[in-house]
Amino acid sequence: MHNEAGDTSAATMLQPGQTIRPQLSQQTAIVLIESLFGLHVKTIKELNSYDDRNYFISVDNNYDNPHIADLWSHGYVFKVMNSMDSFKKHVDAESAIQRELHKAGFSCPQPVLNVRGEDDPHSQSSLHVVRLLIYQPGSLICEIAYTPDIMHQVGRYVGAVDRTLRDFSHPALTCHRSLWSLESVPSLTQFLYAVTDKSLQQLAEDVINTFTRDIIPNLDQFQRGVIHGDFNEQNIIVKQRPSATPGEDQQYDMCAVIDFGGSANSYYVFEVAITIMYMMVESSVIDPMKVGGHILAGYLSEQPLTDVEFDLLKVCVAGRYAQSLVMGAYTYTLDKGNEYLLVTAKNGWPQLRRLWNMSQTELYDQWRQTIQTYNL
* Cα–Cα distance measured from residue 250 to residue 240, given in angstroms and rounded to the nearest whole number: 7
Torsion angle of the four alpha carbons 59, 63, 65, 71, in this order, in degrees rounded to the nearest 10: 50
Q: Classify 78 as helix, strand or coil.
A: strand
Pairing mode of beta strands 139-140, 236-241 = antiparallel
How far the first Cα of the chain sits from its last, in Å, is: 37
How many C-beta atoms lie closer than 10 Å to residue 220's C-beta? 6
- Given 52, 85, 162, 230, the catalytic residue: 230
The yes-or-no answer on residue 287 being catalytic is: no
Backbone angles phi, psi at 124, to 5 degrees: -105, -20
- Candidates 81, 69, 73; CA nearest to 42 is 73
Which DSSP string do the residues of 263-324 spell out, in sequence order? Answer: -EEEEHHHHHHHHHHHHHHT-SSS-HHHHHHHHHHHHHTTS---HHHHHTHHHHHHHHHHHH
- 177 Cβ contact list (under 8 Å, min separation 6): 5, 6, 7, 8, 13, 183, 184, 264
- C-alpha distances in Å from residue 224, one per residue of 22, 39, 106, 259: 33, 41, 21, 21
* Cα–Cα distance measured from residue 329 to residue 207, given in angstroms and rounded to the nearest whole number: 16
- C-alpha distances in Å from residue 89, one per residue of 4, 181, 252: 13, 17, 36
* Cα–Cα distance measured from residue 125 to residue 150, given in angstroms and rounded to the nearest whole number: 40
Angle (CA) 77 81 84, round 5°:
165
Q: For 60, which DSSP code? A: E
Catalytic residues, by residue number, are 230
